[in-house]
């Protein structure tokens, strides 16, 4: 606070600034006379000589910065005719004003240096401490004009010593504006410099006073708080003040959550029930108030008492936000930009004086060269300087001219305004106690113009840095953007904006920028953010309500596990159960002694494959994928099996196997009651298959009949296996502990090695039998209805097998996309998504593929890629929409994985208990596109199994070769067993 000694000498005039403390007296020799005074308070004393013989004046600045004058005994007089103008006055003027001249090179250096600091701060680099703060504001989207409602807005700090309360009505109709009602309240100096509680109580009183005058209810008011100071935001309604700027310095606020301080004050006031929904920086309010136009408004610039800018940055570039999706509005806080390298050369002695005498020396140096709170002071210091040099006002300053803060922004704006005319300038100067001559008026205008031109140029250099950052952020060569401007310097200063625009075009020629003045100082913008916050909060509540049934807790999952155990036991006993627990006649997993060449078919998944499997000491596979057109899958059984045989024949020809009758294993991934290894009665189709005349038939016979129909083809169908069994066998070949097969693909199912004694209907009490659980049908008896949602019901209703495969329809790839689509339709109908616009595309069945979930949820995908997937679907979405679609996908796939995990936990616990083991180590062979491709599905399944079956160490083995290999191995085992019984 206490600055160093100042000595300034000039012929016949002396002023002394000194640091004194209460206990010291001091003497000043003044020409013939001397006077003595006693310092009343701690502070800074300055001896001022005043014209006209009054006793000398002492100016003091006490510790809180307020100043006053005290009559000394005797004052120096200023000769009536004033002092002669020094001969070198034009050099003096040139020297003085030259200091404010900033070259293009200097502006470019400031632009580059600020851009460097911005990117350093975005990366979260702590040292060297970045010169600007780059504060995320949690405003993630620019309003889209549908915001509606009545909002209270409280503006504090934007316009210096006043706060404003507004009542803003948003109609939600693009272009239809209701003029906000507002009231301004002057904040007393002692409140701006007093205790924080005093300031917030003052604000709460102003709020009540304003609302008392409005025909509004006292309940359920939503308020947006425009707080124009640097704050760390941790949410749209949580913001901690970093440091005061612009003449404010209340105690007990820095480091506090200003929303809570306001809520507490409103509570203490107790007059209104007001929900403070959002806190925004004034630049954000300005940006958000920007009228929707041809170009996206992505920058908000304020030059009022202070200055600052915000812009929409890609969230993934903001290191502090562990968010790599969407955009976020960042408040740059360029007021604190202070790169000595860049700013040093343009800082004048007047800037240093101003900073030294300011409330926060050393801080906000850039702001002090641009902000309206300081322009007047800079002009005053220059005028005082030139006056002392006798260049102005015949060397006779007035007390006002020597008083800090006596020249205001309004004065500068008027004096610089060519339309104001000399007379007006004359009046202003006279009001400051000066006696200007015409030349003085002209020079004063020049000083104002010089100071403001520099301010506008510096502001432009900084803005050009922000535009360059936007280009980098958008990876665009050129940029088309609109900048919303606000603040009295922009609004009232005659030339500020034109200089700003011209300089920006010079410094950022590749940016095509339009400037849109804010209609009402950002009040509407704050209401917009509040509306967005309120809307987002409402949408979030609706989204949470919609997704809540998908968020299964431990007890619900444990209940599914227990219900599945019960259904397994019933199914094994042959009792009515939604789990058929079908014996597969596979009694052992391979032991590695299998040998030979085998043909294998793999039908029922995404692809139909024909494979040649050569089993020696290892397994070699040659396969070919064939399509099963929907018309064949839903045509006649004969057509389907003839198509299968056609594919086999085509494969044999390509592999040079024609005429060879290799043992064939048939992976048929549908529920079959097996009567033997090569006999399987199809119980019902699933997964979109519906070929006629097959259900209730022995599938192997249907295949053999098709072979017969296609003369000249020899095939020895040895085994029919389910894809779960094929997968278990395939993985069991590598890991003998693999006793469970799991498929999570188009459909879902599991099999496992059960104790034969537990399998009713199959003779024998020792040994094992692989059981195909057909768990896709779990819950078909209604046991899952408590978990089923209206979206599951819609998907089931629209399926070709309503009421069937309920568990599968909550888990597998054929249905997850549809569940998501139905949820998106629902959220769109609530207006939560896509602005409530239902699109034809989204109403199209199966348009939202399950693979989209895997893509959308992949960690490596930035939101724009997610958006691209959704835009390909013709969905008109915002980044909020995209984030919500992502959450919907996450909720649906998470539930699917957890339910699948609960099923696996039931199976491993069954095996553990079967064997009376404390601990069980077992492996699960897994296949299926969803399990393999979804970024989180497998880990969620494993986590659920660990949670529900903690005494089982379960290893999940992803099958590399699919179940075709498993079918060939089952065939090989059957051939080996047949061989061994023949010998």
Q: Please list the active-site residues.
A: 609, 669, 723
In the complex, minimum distance from the CB of residue 178 to ligand BGC, in angstroms, rounded to a whole number: 26
Q: Which is nearer to ligand BGC, 359 or 422 (CB)?
A: 359
- Asked if 929 is part of the footprint of ligand BGC (rule: CB under 6 A), the reply reads no
In the complex, minimum distance from the CB of residue 669 to ligand 0WK, in angstroms, rounded to a whole number: 4
Interaction partner, residue 962 (ligand BGC, ligand 0WK, none; CB < 5-8 Å by kind): ligand 0WK
Q: Which is nearer to ligand 0WK, 623 or 878 (CB)?
A: 623
> Could you say which of 198, 403, 963, 971 contacts ligand 0WK (CB under 6 A)?
963
Structure tokens at 137: 């504001």
SS3 sequence, 29-56? Answer: EECCEEEEEECCCCEEEEEECCHHHCCC
> Could you say which of 222, 239, 281, 589 contacts ligand BGC (CB under 6 A)?
281
Q: Which is nearer to ligand 0WK, 487 or 745 (CB)?
A: 745
Q: How far is CA 824 from each of CA 171, 369, 868, rounded to the nearest angstrom?
A: 26, 51, 17
In the complex, minimum distance from the CB of residue 858 to ligand 0WK, in angstroms, rounded to a whole number: 17
Interaction partner, residue 929 (ligand 0WK, ligand BGC, none; CB < 5-8 Å by kind): ligand 0WK
* Chain position carrying tokens 């030259």: 98
* Residue-wise burial string across 242-280, b where 16 or more C-beta atoms lie within 10 A, e elsewhere: bbbbbbbbbeebbeebbbebbbebbeebeebebbbbbbb
Q: Where are the alpha helices (DSSP H) in 741-856?
A: 790-798, 808-811, 813-829, 850-856
Residues that contact ligand BGC, how many (by CB under 6 A):
35
Structure tokens at 233: 């935001």
In the complex, minimum distance from the CB of residue 430 to ligand BGC, in angstroms, rounded to a whole number: 32
SS3 sequence, 427-479? Answer: HHHHHCCCCCCHHHHHHHHHHHHHHHHHHHHHHHHHHHHHHHHHHHHHCCCCE
Q: In whole angstroms, what is the distance from residue 700 CA to residue 703 CA?
A: 5
Q: If we measure between CA atoms, which residue out of 275, 266, 278, 201 comes closest to residue 239? A: 278
Q: In whole angstroms, what is the distance from residue 580 CA to residue 277 CA?
A: 55
Interaction partner, residue 748 (ligand 0WK, ligand BGC, none; CB < 5-8 Å by kind): ligand BGC
Q: Which is nearer to ligand BGC, 132 or 407 (CB)?
A: 132
Neighbours of 215 (CB within 10 A): 6
Structure tokens at 633: 């899958």
Q: DSSP label at 798?
A: H
In the complex, minimum distance from the CB of residue 600 to ligand 0WK, in angstroms, rounded to a whole number: 9
Binding mask 710-749 for ligand BGC (x = CB under 6 A): ------------xxx------------------x-x-xxx
- Asked if 687 is part of the footprint of ligand BGC (rule: CB under 6 A), the reply reads yes
In the complex, minimum distance from the CB of residue 731 to ligand BGC, in angstroms, rounded to a whole number: 15
- Asked if 855 is part of the footprint of ligand 0WK (rule: CB under 6 A), the reply reads no
Q: In whole angstroms, what is the distance from residue 475 CA to residue 740 CA?
A: 50
Structure tokens at 771: 């059981």
* Residue range at the interface with ligand 0WK (CB under 6 A); choices 75-83, 167-175, 522-530, 962-970: 962-970
Q: If we measure between CA atoms, which residue out of 734, 733, 752, 732 comes closest to residue 742? A: 752
CB 282 within 8 A of CB 486: yes
Residues that contact ligand 0WK, how many (by CB under 6 A):
18
Q: DSSP label at 636?
A: B
Interaction partner, residue 927 (ligand BGC, ligand 0WK, none; CB < 5-8 Å by kind): ligand 0WK
Binding mask 794-833 for ligand 0WK (x = CB under 6 A): -------------------x--------------------
CB 370 within 8 A of CB 303: yes
Answer positive or negative: Cα dihedral of 250, 252, 257, 258: negative
* Residues sharing a CB contact under 8 Å with residue 573, sequence separation 6 or more, in sequence order: 760
Q: Which is nearer to ligand 0WK, 89 or 958 (CB)?
A: 958
Q: In whole angstroms, what is the distance from residue 610 CA to residue 602 CA?
A: 6
Q: Which is nearer to ligand BGC, 228 or 898 (CB)?
A: 228
Q: Which is nearer to ligand 0WK, 224 or 745 (CB)?
A: 745
- Asked if 925 is part of the footprint of ligand BGC (rule: CB under 6 A), the reply reads no
DSSP per residue, 948-965? H-TTEEEEEEE-SSHHHH
- Asked if 743 is part of the footprint of ligand 0WK (rule: CB under 6 A), the reply reads yes
In the complex, minimum distance from the CB of residue 721 to ligand 0WK, in angstroms, rounded to a whole number: 9
Nearest residue to the partner ligand 0WK, using Cβ: 745
In the complex, minimum distance from the CB of residue 472 to ligand 0WK, in angstroms, rounded to a whole number: 41
> Could you say which of 83, 115, 134, 158 contacts ligand BGC (CB under 6 A)?
158
Interaction partner, residue 281 (ligand 0WK, ligand BGC, none; CB < 5-8 Å by kind): ligand BGC
Q: Which is nearer to ligand BGC, 455 or 885 (CB)?
A: 455
Q: Which is nearer to ligand BGC, 367 or 909 (CB)?
A: 367
> Could you say which of 406, 457, 561, 669 contacts ligand BGC (CB under 6 A)?
669
Structure tokens at 954: 């379960």
- Asked if 723 is part of the footprint of ligand 0WK (rule: CB under 6 A), the reply reads yes
CB 601 within 8 A of CB 666: yes
Q: In whole angstroms, what is the distance from residue 208 CA to residue 274 CA?
A: 10
> Could you say which of 453, 669, 944, 971 contacts ligand 0WK (CB under 6 A)?
669
Q: Which is nearer to ligand BGC, 257 or 333 (CB)?
A: 333
Interaction partner, residue 901 (ligand BGC, ligand 0WK, none; CB < 5-8 Å by kind): none
* Residue range at the interface with ligand 0WK (CB under 6 A); choices 53-61, 299-307, 739-747, 753-761: 739-747
DSSP per residue, 908-951? HHHHHHHTT-SSEEEEEEEE-HHHHHSTTHHHHHHHHHHHH-TT
Interaction partner, residue 159 (ligand BGC, ligand 0WK, none; CB < 5-8 Å by kind): none
In the complex, minimum distance from the CB of residue 607 to ligand 0WK, in angstroms, rounded to a whole number: 6
Secondary element (H or E) of residue 19:
strand 13-20
> Could you say which of 15, 741, 928, 952 contacts ligand 0WK (CB under 6 A)?
928
Q: Which long-range contacts (CB under 8 A, 24 or more apart) does 952-955 make?
A: 952/905, 952/908, 952/909, 952/912, 952/919, 952/920, 952/921, 952/922, 953/919, 953/920, 953/921, 953/922, 954/904, 954/908, 954/922, 954/923, 954/924, 955/735, 955/737, 955/921, 955/922, 955/923, 955/924
- Asked if 302 is part of the footprint of ligand BGC (rule: CB under 6 A), the reply reads yes
Helix (H, G, I), strand (E, B) or coil at 514: strand
* Residues sharing a CB contact under 8 Å with residue 933, sequence separation 6 or more, in sequence order: 851, 854
Secondary element (H or E) of residue 537:
helix 523-547
Q: Which of residues 805-834 bind ligand BGC (CB under 6 A)?
A: 808
* Residue range at the interface with ligand BGC (CB under 6 A); choices 89-97, 223-231, 290-298, 649-657: 223-231
Q: In whole angstroms, what is the distance from residue 821 CA to residue 823 CA?
A: 5
* Residues sharing a CB contact under 8 Å with residue 535, sequence separation 6 or more, in sequence order: 147
Q: Which is nearer to ligand 0WK, 457 or 669 (CB)?
A: 669
Strand segments (E) across 669-764: 672-676, 679-682, 716-721, 738-744, 748-755
- Asked if 745 is part of the footprint of ligand 0WK (rule: CB under 6 A), the reply reads yes
- Asked if 246 is part of the footprint of ligand BGC (rule: CB under 6 A), the reply reads yes
In the complex, minimum distance from the CB of residue 683 to ligand 0WK, in angstroms, rounded to a whole number: 17
- Asked if 602 is part of the footprint of ligand 0WK (rule: CB under 6 A), the reply reads yes
In the complex, minimum distance from the CB of residue 159 to ligand BGC, in angstroms, rounded to a whole number: 8
- Asked if 201 is part of the footprint of ligand BGC (rule: CB under 6 A), the reply reads no
- Contact residues for ligand BGC (CB under 6 A)? 158, 228-230, 245-246, 281-283, 302, 304, 306-308, 333, 335, 367, 604-605, 669-671, 686-687, 722-724, 743, 745, 747-749, 774, 776, 808
């Amino acid at each position: 606070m206490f600055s160093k000694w100042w000595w300034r000498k000039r012929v016949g005039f002396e002023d002394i600034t000194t640091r004194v403390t209460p206990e010291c007296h001091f003497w000043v020799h003044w020409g013939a006379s001397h006077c003595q005074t006693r310092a009343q308070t701690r502070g800074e004393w300055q001896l001022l000589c005043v014209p006209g013989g009054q006793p000398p004046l002492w100016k003091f600045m006490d510790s809180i910065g307020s100043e006053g004058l005290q009559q000394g005994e005797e004052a120096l007089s200023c000769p009536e005719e004033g002092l002669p103008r020094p001969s070198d006055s034009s050099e003096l003027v040139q020297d003085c004003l030259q200091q404010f001249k900033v070259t293009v090179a200097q502006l470019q250096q400031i632009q580059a240096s600020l851009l460097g600091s911005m990117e350093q701060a975005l990366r979260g680099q702590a040292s060297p401490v970045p010169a600007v703060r780059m504060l995320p504001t949690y405003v993630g989207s620019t309003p889209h004009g549908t915001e509606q409602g009545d909002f209270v807005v409280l503006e504090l700090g934007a316009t210096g010593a006043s706060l404003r309360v507004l009542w803003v009505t948003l109609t939600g109709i693009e272009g239809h504006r209701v003029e906000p009602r507002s009231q301004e309240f002057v904040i007393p100096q002692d409140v701006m410099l007093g205790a924080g509680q005093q300031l917030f109580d003052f604000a709460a009183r102003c709020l009540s006073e304003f609302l008392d005058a409005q025909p509004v209810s006292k309940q359920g008011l939503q308020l947006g708080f425009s707080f124009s100071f640097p704050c760390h935001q941790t949410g749209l309604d949580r913001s901690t003040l970093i440091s005061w700027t612009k003449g404010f310095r209340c105690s007990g606020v820095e480091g506090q959550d200003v929303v809570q301080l306001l809520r507490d004050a409103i509570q203490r006031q107790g007059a209104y029930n007001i929900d403070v929904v959002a806190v925004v920086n004034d630049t954000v309010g300005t940006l958000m108030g920007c009228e929707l136009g041809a170009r996206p408004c992505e920058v908000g610039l304020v030059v009022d008492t202070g200055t600052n800018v915000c812009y929409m940055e890609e969230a993934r570039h903001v290191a502090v936000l562990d968010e790599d999706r969407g955009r976020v509005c960042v408040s740059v806080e360029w007021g604190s930009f202070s790169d000595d390298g860049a700013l040093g050369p343009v800082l004048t002695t007047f800037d240093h004086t101003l900073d030294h005498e300011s409330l926060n020396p050393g801080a906000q140096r850039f702001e002090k060269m641009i902000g309206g709170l300081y322009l007047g002071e800079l002009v005053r210091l220059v005028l005082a300087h030139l006056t002392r040099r006798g260049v102005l006002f015949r060397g006779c300053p007035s007390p006002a001219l020597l008083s800090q803060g006596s020249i205001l922004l309004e004065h500068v704006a008027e004096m610089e305004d060519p339309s104001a005319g000399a007379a007006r300038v004359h009046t202003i100067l006279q009001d400051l106690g000066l006696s200007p001559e015409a030349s003085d008026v002209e020079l004063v205008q020049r000083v104002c113009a010089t100071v403001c031109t520099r301010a506008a140029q510096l502001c432009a250099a900084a803005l050009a840095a922000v535009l360059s950052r936007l280009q980098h952020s958008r990876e665009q060569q050129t940029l088309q953007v609109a900048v919303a401007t606000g603040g009295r310097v922009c609004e009232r200063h005659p030339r500020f904006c034109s200089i700003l625009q011209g300089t920006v075009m010079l410094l950022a020629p590749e940016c095509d920028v339009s400037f849109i003045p804010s209609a009402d100082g950002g009040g509407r913008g704050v209401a917009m953010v509040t509306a967005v916050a309120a809307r987002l909060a409402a949408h979030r509540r609706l989204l949470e309500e919609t997704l809540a049934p998908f968020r299964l807790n431990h007890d619900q999952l444990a209940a599914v596990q227990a219900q599945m155990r019960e259904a397994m036991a019933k199914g094994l006993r042959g009792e009515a159960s939604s789990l058929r627990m079908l014996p597969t006649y596979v009694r052992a997993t391979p032991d590695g002694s299998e040998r030979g060449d085998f043909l294998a078919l793999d039908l029922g998944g995404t692809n139909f494959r024909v494979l040649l499997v050569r089993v020696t000491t290892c397994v070699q596979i040659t396969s070919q994928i064939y399509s099963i057109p929907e018309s064949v899958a839903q045509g006649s059984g004969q057509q389907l099996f003839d198509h299968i045989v056609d594919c086999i024949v085509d494969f044999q020809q390509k592999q040079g196997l024609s005429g060879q009758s290799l043992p064939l294993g048939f992976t048929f991934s549908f529920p079959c009651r097996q009567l033997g290894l090569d006999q399987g009665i199809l119980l019902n189709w699933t997964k979109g298959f519906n070929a006629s005349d097959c259900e209730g038939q022995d599938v192997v016979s249907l295949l053999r009949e098709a072979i017969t129909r296609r003369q000249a083809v020899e095939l020895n169908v040895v085994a029919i296996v389910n894809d779960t069994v094929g997968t278990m066998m395939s993985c069991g070949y590598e890991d003998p502990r693999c006793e469970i097969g799991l498929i999570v693909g188009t459909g879902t199912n599991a099999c496992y090695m059960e104790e034969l004694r537990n399998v009713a209907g199959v003779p024998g009490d020792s040994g094992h039998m692989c059981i195909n659980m057909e768990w896709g049908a779990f819950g078909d008896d209604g046991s899952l209805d408590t978990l089923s949602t209206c979206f599951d019901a819609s998907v089931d209703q629209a399926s070709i097998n309503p009421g069937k495969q309920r568990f599968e329809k909550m888990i597998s790839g054929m249905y997850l996309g549809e569940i998501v689509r139905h949820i998106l339709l629902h959220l769109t109908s609530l207006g939560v998504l896509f602005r409530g616009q239902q699109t034809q595309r989204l109403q199209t069945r199966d348009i939202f593929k399950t693979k989209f979930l895997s893509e959308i949820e992949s960690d490596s995908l930035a939101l724009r890629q997610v958006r691209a997937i959704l835009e390909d679907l013709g969905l008109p979405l915002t980044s909020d929409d995209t984030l919500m679609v992502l959450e919907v996908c996450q909720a649906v796939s998470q539930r699917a994985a957890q339910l699948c995990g609960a099923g696996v936990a039931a199976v491993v616990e069954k095996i553990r208990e079967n064997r009376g083991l404390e601990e069980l180590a077992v492996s699960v062979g897994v296949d299926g596109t969803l399990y393999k491709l979804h970024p989180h599905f497998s880990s969620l399944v494993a986590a659920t199994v660990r949670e529900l079956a903690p005494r089982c160490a379960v290893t999940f083995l992803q099958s590399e070769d699919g179940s075709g290999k498993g079918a060939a191995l089952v065939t090989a085992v059957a051939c080996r067993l047949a061989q061994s019984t023949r010998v």
